[in-house]
Amino acid sequence: MPEVKPALNKGLLIKVGVLGVIAVAAAVLVLRGMDVKALVVQGMAIIGSAGPWVFFTAMAVLPAVGFPLLAFALPAGPAFSGQLGLGGVLAAYGTAIAINLALTYWLAAHALRPWVERLVARAGYKIPQLAKDEQIEVTLLLRITPGPPFFLQSYLLGLGGVPFFTYLWVSWSVAMAYGVGFVVFGDAIMHGRARLAILGMSLLVTAVIIVHLVRKHYGKGRVQSTR
């Protein structure tokens, strides 16, 4: 039997490619004598001048229409840790994520659901609903598996009939597992705090390892259930 090669993760390749382009662009700017650090500091000053209320309100709303959470996680610490403290920034970050999750759930399960149901019905289909004993597992797997962006995952879970509380605590826990690491890392890098940067990176690595173990656990469970 021929060996089956594992499929490449296109989403991961795209992210790596984007990071590579950014790194090359930054290197070119540095070589041309541009003060990249000064530009970053200026950007943080502009974000900070808007105030934490504007920033975290935008974070609660914009990801519902596809704006990436990472764009808020990295600048949150550098822009507002001076005003709120790092603990305050993390609390505001977690609150904004919870509000965003509630907003996207309401849109999927209530505001947009009739329109989506009519659209699907015209195509001769019906929106599938998750069985009660699968809701936590499917929610967790969807949140930790690379693929659909965060906001699309929220809409899929809302349409799939996952209860709000289950949807909220699983989704929030996964988002914060990554978010805390990014916030801490962004703040440490901006302020030159090596120990804090290592802590932030350690949190991210720990989150990745936990996600890998969870996916491996559920993967084995599914293989055994099919035998």
pLDDT in tens, 89-123: 999 999 999 999 999 999 999 998 888 888 778 87
Q: Is residue 163 part of a domain?
A: yes
Percent of the chain whose pLDDT exceeds 90: 27
Q: Is pLDDT above 80 for 191?
A: no
Confidence at 4, pLDDT banded by 50, 70, 90: very low
> How close are the terminal C-alpha atoms of the chain, in Å?
20
Q: Is residue 114 part of a domain?
A: yes
Q: Is residue 40 part of a domain?
A: no
Residues 203/180, Cβ–Cβ less than 8 Å: yes
Q: Is residue 170 part of a domain?
A: yes
Query: What average pLDDT does range 194-198 have in this prediction?
Result: 59
| Other C-beta atoms lying within 10 Å of the C-beta of residue 115 | 9
Rounded distance between C-alpha atoms, residue 122 and residue 116, angstroms: 10
Domain tally, the chain: 1
Q: Is residue 3 part of a domain?
A: no
Q: Is residue 99 part of a domain?
A: yes
Domain span at 78: 51-225
Q: Is residue 11 part of a domain?
A: no
pTM: 0.71
Element (H, E) at 69: none
Q: Is residue 104 part of a domain?
A: yes
